[in-house]
Amino acid sequence: MSTLTLALAQVAPYYNLGLVVVAMYLFITLFRIKGKGVYMLPWKLLFAGVVIFIIEELITILRAARFIDIPAHINGFFELAIIFLFIYMLLLQKAKMKK
């Protein structure tokens, strides 16, 4: 691996969290909408997936800094939960669109 690849791998969790800050602002703006006809459940599930992603990234950062000693395969469980929420969100939206 090149040094550029290693450098990007080390800072990736940090800029991921930076981008999540922008996404959280957008979610807060979205959740302030109180209009009729807005189906919010899929968006709440997506928000839950983003929160799980934040927890996963924080664990990754703490593991890299050697503050905690959690095996790396635990990230797979977080990713599985995110994928489950995303698929369920899409199925709910599809069912809503059929009505």
Q: pLDDT (tens digit, 9 = 90+) per residue, 10-41?
A: 888 888 889 999 999 999 998 888 777 788 99
pTM of the model: 0.85
The answer to whether 98 and 39 are in contact (CB under 8 A) is no
Contacts of 41 (CB under 8 A, 6+ apart): 89, 92
Distance CA 88, CA 92 (A): 6
Summarize the confidence of residues 2-14 as an average pLDDT.
Answer: 85
Average pLDDT over the chain reads 90
